[in-house]
Amino acid sequence: MTEREPPHGVEAGAAHLRRTESGVEAHMVDVSEKPATRRSALARALVEFPAGVLQRLREGTGPKGPVEEMARAAGVLAAKRTGELVPLCHPLGLDHVEVTFHPRGVDALEIRCSARCTGKTGVEMEALVGASIAALTVYDMAKGLDKGIRIGVVELLEKSGGKSGTWRAAAFDG
């Protein structure tokens, strides 16, 4: 069996798994032969607040200071360190990471993280990790106001580059 064939009981396309004499092992995919291409990804995390909490945070009256700026810094730092946080994820030299905040109604905040690089593997995980950690930072900085804050959907909105080209979530309107 070659390294590219799926192990017995493992779906085709499970590139991080291979069968050995002792069973199935996880391994980092070898991307050394792939060409470097421009890649980008955009992810989001939705944070939902009890009534009035988001307004207080946006007015700067949260218990821990400027929530969005701390969450922005945390999201950028997390995206840059994704290879250390997610097993089998390649460490990437990111060219750009941006974290933005978009109110959704009066009690929800959408956090978007975009990531870009020229590399041999995609930046979807970097965008997802950045959005997730930014959302967790918002929770941490706001929990003194109300512990009922909820982090909802975390999802990839779009990606481009590499062999699979461009992909966009069906409901994503840009």
DSSP state of 21: T
CA-to-CA distance for 48 and 87, rounded, in angstroms? 29
Q: Is 140 a catalytic residue?
A: yes
Assign 127 to helix, strand or coil. helix
Choosing from 30, 95, 140, 173, the catalytic residue is 140
- Spatial CB neighbours of 164, under 8 Å, sequence gap ≥ 6: none
CA torsion, ordered 47, 52, 55, 56, to nearest 10 deg: -110
CA-to-CA distance for 28 and 85, rounded, in angstroms? 14
CA-to-CA distance for 45 and 155, rounded, in angstroms? 7
Catalytic residue numbers, as ranges: 140
